[in-house]
Homo-oligomer: A and B are copies of this chain.
Amino acid sequence: MAPKPTLSRRAAAVPPSPIRRLAPLAAAARRAGKTVHALNIGQPDSPTPQPILERLQRFAQPNIAYGPSEGLPEFREVLRRYYAGLGLEVGADEIFVTTGASEALLFVFAALADPGDEILVFEPFYTNYAGFAAIVGARLVAVTTRPEDGYHLPGREAIEARLTSRTRAILLCSPNNPTGTVYTEEELERVAAICKARGLFLISDEVYREFTYDGRHHRSALTLDAIAPQIVVVDSLSKRVSLCGARVGCVVTRNRELLDALLRCGQARLCPPTLGQLLGCGVEEVPPEVTAGMIAEFQARRDLVYQRLSALEGTLLQKPEGAFYVCPRLPIDDGQRFAEFLLRDFEHEGETVMVAPADGFYATANLGRHEVRLAYVIGGSQLERALEVLVAGLEAYRAATARP
């Protein structure tokens, strides 16, 4: 008898995404005629700005060809000018273009961590960090942040307590997915000081850079000149100009050795998507008022979501400071069960809501069970309505789970 072919242990370790694992239930709900308001995924409804979308029509090459593994020269130059416009002086050769921030994270994890090495993260964290870590065999070690603190960072000692001889990097995401927290300058410097003292890389996920509210300013890790070779910024055009499906992002670093490693990883996959990069070249033609209008719209949505949720009995949340997520603690026993209930067992006048259970945003077992992530990626009366439906869903869930 031949041995049974089995998958790798690694394959079993790659977690299903809490953002996407409910997709089959949502599809079933839609087939059953329900309207499903999707608050589960960070796919904004913002239109892709015209100067970018127009470039589709202007494509005039005979075929869609490979570009350089490190990105098209004209696109890297556009990105260089974008960073310069933010006061961040980096060379085009310090920008490595990737297939979205996703590939940037995968390659950075691979280049910094061997199997068993550790990357320190703050939980709740962007759930897909766990997927990339599992693929390369790295371990995420989590420092817990709390809704009571608006998910801001604990003190230096609490962070240092989780470092081991295997720690290779600290990963910071600000404005934060899933919490909407924007770390202060002091918090950024706190983490940088640890990285400096312990010789760690600081991976800074800044894909929501522009999404800050109430006049807040986001400070990029690229300003931390004292540890410049340890700074690795992960970025993406997906949210900034509504190009999620184009899959264009980048790594920015002044570390030559890392750039060389990224290039070799990148050569294996040939190149990032050519069309996405050609569209991305239009980013500097987007009028500033378009971006400002988009941010103002998200701030207004944030206000609405915060107002409705904080008025509910048994919820806990601070006002989110950026990105377009909120991660409230709700009066529920289990976010996964609640999310399933909403899709399968509930409707409010033919409508329901899809949310992301927050347990998948934690590395520590049993944390996040009372939280869900909501993405306010729909607006106007639809968002009002989705929140009404969510509130009705909470009441129905409470009634259903209170049964003997």
- A interface residues (Cβ-Cβ under 8 A, vs B): 2-5, 7-12, 14-17, 19-21, 23, 41, 43-48, 53, 56-57, 59, 62-69, 99-100, 102-103, 106, 110-115, 117, 128, 130-132, 135-137, 168, 196-201, 229-230, 242-247, 257-258, 261, 263-265, 267-276, 279
Contacts and interface: CB of A to CB of B under 8 A. Distances in A.
Nearest to A270: B102
A116 B1 CA distance: 25
Contact of A135 (B12, B53, B136, B275): B136
Given A8-B110, A11-B111, A247 B99 contact: yes
A273 B246 contact: yes
A268 B131 contact: yes
Contacts of A132: 268
25 contacts: A5-B200, A7-B257, A8-B117, A9-B114, A10-B114, A11-B111, A14-B261, A17-B264, A20-B267, A45-B63, A46-B63, A48-B63, A56-B57, A57-B57, A66-B245, A67-B245, A99-B273, A102-B270, A131-B265, A136-B136, A136-B137, A244-B274, A245-B274, A247-B272, A275-B276
Contact of A100 (B8, B11, B128, B269): B269
Listed residue (A11, A16, A131, A244) with the most chain B CB atoms within 10 angstroms of its CB? A11
B59 A8 contact: no
Given A7-B111, A8-B112, A244-B274, 14 more contacts: A2-B199, A5-B201, A7-B258, A11-B112, A14-B265, A21-B267, A45-B62, A46-B63, A53-B59, A56-B57, A131-B265, A137-B137, A246-B274, A246-B275
